[in-house]
Amino acid sequence: MAIVFTFASVPIDAHATGIGSQVTTSIGYSVTQSSSLIGKRESYSIQTGISGTVGSYTLPYSVIYLDKNIFEQPSQSDVSPAEFIQSVSIDSSDAQYYKIKVIYKNLTAGPPKKFPFSATLKNLRNAAGEQFTIKTALFDKNGVELTSDDENFTKSGYVAGIEAPDNGVTNPRMYLFKEYLVDSDVDSTHTKFSPDFQSDVKFTIQNGKKNLTNSEVTSRPTEGVDRRPVRVTITLPGTSVWDPSLPNNSGWTYNSADNTVSKDFTRTLPYFDTTITMKYGTNTTVATQYFPVKTILVNDDGTTDPTTERNGKVYREYEYVKKLKGTKYHLKYNYSVPVDPEYRHKYLITGGQYWGQAAVQNTTTIINTIIDEPWEKTEFTGYGIRVMDGFFDAANLAKDQSQ
């Protein structure tokens, strides 16, 4: 018996691939690397050719498929120009993919043609360690698919934590101004907090790269922002009292075993602020209070990713004074200027002095005392307190007092 093999060629332009020739395409990184950083414009490459010695196509084209859920919208400039490229276009009409179409002038047997292109994984839509796929397909000029390739890549990202210098030590950070306490805020010895005293502690969690020499981060606001929630755990002072009903304490979970509070935050920006309201109990000394802060990313299954743990520290300063200091901050940055040779100063004290809303009708403002630091030594003769013209009616203006 004789077996006869017949090879038929497909009429494409002048030539088709010959016996032993094959159209190929592949996708990979442009340079050697192990992962793609979320939010970074990473470089990939497409390589297309005809193996063997026979065959050619005129105006074939490649299509690169980028998943809209995880990639930023591409542009024509993301494809590097090359002599063999006829044109580049972007099709955004598909529900699932951005399609980058690259038309070649021709494709002939011999060395493959290769060009780089860039793509950016979306911040806050991807998680480090996840896999993603980029697909490419090669078509003839009539839209017939000749071959395709799809490759899996790995995502990488940064972490979240307290921003601080990478200097080998923990760097406690203060985010609110020093708070001055009056008699009602402390006990009879003026050395311990009153059990009724309440104070806010505020800090900012930043997206950032792990510091190499400590457990804090270096801020990276534009890239590496993982989509996973951030679990923030704050260690409270040993003698403090956690009250979940206080302002800012909703949603925090208290753990009495280690005196910590924890809360998961879903980020919409590369950073977020968080605030808790503290009560220090009856046995906490009036002094600077420190709060160790641990951050860690939470996986989709509720477990935490130990490789993302960071540890920092924040603090709030406190000082007792016999009466409240009326600093410039309390006076809402209003002016203090010499008005005569005796170096008297004029202050404008408003109902909005604590950075709140502007003064409204029936607003009451209480200043226990004013701390004044003169420019030069001068004999203190007292303060005159009056209401400025135009702020109240004639009856109230008559209530000026001096002491």
pLDDT tens digits, one per residue of 334-392: 344 334 433 344 444 444 433 344 444 554 555 555 555 554 555 556 655 555 555 55
Tokens of 245: 């009903």
Residue 249 tokens, joined: 């304490």
C-beta of residue 381 within 8 angstroms of C-beta of residue 342: yes
In this structure, what are the phi and psi dihedrals at residue 395, rounded to the nearest 5 degrees? -65, -40
Q: Note the Cα 309 to chain centre separation in Å.
A: 16
Which residue reads 């980020």 in tokens?
A: 267
Which residues 6+ apart lie within 8 Å of 372 measured at CB? 345
Length of the chain in residues, anyone? 403
Per the rule left: phi > 0, alpha: psi between -120 and 50, beta: everything else, 106 is beta
Q: Tokens representing 224? A: 């590496």
From first to last of the 403 residues of the chain, give the pLDDT tens digit: 333 322 233 333 434 444 457 999 999 999 999 999 999 999 999 999 998 777 899 999 999 999 999 999 999 999 999 999 999 999 999 999 999 999 999 999 999 999 999 999 999 999 999 999 999 999 999 999 999 999 999 999 999 999 999 999 999 999 988 888 888 899 999 999 999 999 999 999 999 999 999 999 999 999 999 999 999 999 999 999 999 999 899 999 999 999 999 999 999 999 999 999 999 998 999 999 999 999 999 999 999 999 999 999 999 999 887 653 444 333 333 344 334 433 344 444 444 433 344 444 554 555 555 555 554 555 556 655 555 555 555 555 555 444 3
pLDDT of residue 396: 54
According to the model, what pLDDT value does residue 174 have?
Answer: 93
Distance CA 290, CA 172 (A): 8
Q: Tokens 């006869």 map to which residue? A: 4
Helices and strands (DSSP H and E) totals, the chain: 1, 27
**Amino acid identity at 161:** G
